[in-house]
């Protein structure tokens, strides 16, 4: 899964807390729940940048940096929830490069994968619902 849905949902959960530690716990927990939804993970180092999968993968990850930047200005628990939800993916990088780690991001019961198109649709639905929800929370 790209970082964008994790950032949006982590920020949303952070908006329900008034504490940094609760925002961290909620952000991390939301990452595990979202990775249970079938998604696409682009193989790093095999970038065929003209493919739909690579375009959506890199586009979504780049947008998530902007969303994180925006949430930083909105409020600290929101930003911390979003950031800690995103940082769980470091486990994947550590595992890939060292072989050590929880191996949570290997495909298994708790980490489900699907095709790029289905993954894109699932992630887009999560992001749209999450953004509307967050907008309503922040403005209503
Ligand atoms: Zn993940």
Distance 110 CA to ligand 1 centre (A): 10
Provide the domain count of the chain: 1
Distance 122 CA to ligand 1 centre (A): 14
* 128: Cβ contacts below 8 Å, ≥ 6 apart: none
Mean pLDDT of 63-83: 96
Distance 31 CA to ligand 1 centre (A): 6
Question: What is the residue range of 71's domain?
Answer: 3-139
The reported pTM is 0.92
Give pLDDT tens digits for 110-119.
889 999 999 9
At residue 102 the predicted structure's pLDDT band, cuts being 50, 70 and 90, is: confident
Higher pLDDT, 130 or 94: 130
Distance 138 CA to ligand 1 centre (A): 26
Say what the pLDDT of residue 91 is: 85
Distance 79 CA to ligand 1 centre (A): 18
Say what the pLDDT of residue 36 is: 96
């Amino acid at each position: 899964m790209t970082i964008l849905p994790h950032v949006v949902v982590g920020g949303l959960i952070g908006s329900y807390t008034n504490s940094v530690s609760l925002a961290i716990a909620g952000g991390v927990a939301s990452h595990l729940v979202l990775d249970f939804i079938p998604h696409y993970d682009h193989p790093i180092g095999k970038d065929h940048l003209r493919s739909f999968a690579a375009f959506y993968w890199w586009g979504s990850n780049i947008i998530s940096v902007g969303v994180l930047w925006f949430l930083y200005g909105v409020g600290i628990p929101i930003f911390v929830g979003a950031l800690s939800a995103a940082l769980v993916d470091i486990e994947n990088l550590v595992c890939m490069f060292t072989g050590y780690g929880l191996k949570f991001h290997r495909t298994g019961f708790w980490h489900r994968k699907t095709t790029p198109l289905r993954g894109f649709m699932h992630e887009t639905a999560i992001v749209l619902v999450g953004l509307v929800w967050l907008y309503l929370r922040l403005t209503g």
